[in-house]
Amino acid sequence: MGVSVCLASGKGGVGKSTIAANLGVALSKMGINTVLVDGDLEGASLGLLLGVDPGSPSIHDCLAGKMSCREALVEAYGTKVMVGSINIERLVDISLDRFPKVLAELTGMFDILLLDAPAGLGSDAITLMSSCHSLILVLTPDINSVTNTLKTLAVAKKVGVAVLGAIVSRTGGEYDIPSDQIEELMKVKIIAEMPEEELVKRSLNEAVPIYVGYPASTYSAQIKVVAKKLIGV
């Protein structure tokens, strides 16, 4: 039985999916049997980040009961991934009730399951968060993001998921709230700071994760820091 880690955020666009995709690749390269799962059914993006063929099997097929978990897995850059479909028609006929079972089954097959959750506190986000063993919060260093992350944190505590820490994302701006202040405000350990880097956007255009395409970047070095913390190195 592996562990499931949910990457969650109070706000959208903070860099969760980018972190999830690269973390999955990094953990796999370190020899950890890892599976990435796209939990953002309406805004699926792991497939785009990892250059997966849009016609590939997806979590939507699995939630619609058309495929088993094993059949819906694809491989990308050495990691296993259950992408979300970007086809709007696939949103019909899916059952969210199946999600906890899918996550439990996959957790049994891998050492680490990384779940890219939808932003905010909609019912699907809460269901997914509650179905994982642990949670990493992703936020940007501004008051809007901190305020909304405090709500996510409160819900996480209520549903009893273990909070491993927070990643401050898209850092390096003149008006950033410093990480030690964020730590103090939220009473949560900051695991890493992911810098705002143009190479992240270039990597999305190239459909190659930055950890693979630009391993010497500061972003990739920080991904390695998070991966090592996750496996306790």
E strand residue ranges, 73-224: 74-76, 79-82, 112-116, 134-139, 162-171, 190-195
Asked if 90 is part of the footprint of ligand ATP (rule: CB under 6 A), the reply reads no
Judged by beta carbon distances under 5 to 8 A according to partner kind, the member of Mg ion, ligand ATP, none in contact with residue 13 is: ligand ATP
Look at the alpha carbons of 151, 107, 53, 90 in this order and tell me if their dihedral is positive or negative: negative
* Tally of CB atoms within 10 A around 63: 24
Judged by beta carbon distances under 5 to 8 A according to partner kind, the member of ligand ATP, Mg ion, none in contact with residue 9 is: ligand ATP
Of 11-19, 27-35, 66-74, 184-192, the segment contacting ligand ATP by CB under 6 A is 11-19
Asked if 43 is part of the footprint of ligand ATP (rule: CB under 6 A), the reply reads yes
Judged by beta carbon distances under 5 to 8 A according to partner kind, the member of ligand ATP, Mg ion, none in contact with residue 170 is: ligand ATP
**Quick one: which of 6, 11, 14, 17 contacts Mg ion (CB under 5 A)?**
17
Find the shortest distance in angstroms from Cβ 1 to Mg ion. Answer: 27
Starting at the edge strand that comes first in sequence, how are the strands of the sheet with 190-195 ordered? Answer: 74-76, 79-82, 34-38, 112-116, 3-8, 134-139, 162-171, 190-195
Find the shortest distance in angstroms from Cβ 124 to ligand ATP. Answer: 13
Asked if 9 is part of the footprint of Mg ion (rule: CB under 5 A), the reply reads no
Question: 169 exposed, middle or buried (CB, 10 Å; 0-12, 13-18, 19+)?
Answer: buried
* Tally of CB atoms within 10 A around 35: 25
Binding site for ligand ATP (CB under 6 A): 9, 12-18, 40, 43, 45, 119, 169-170, 194-197, 200-201, 204, 219
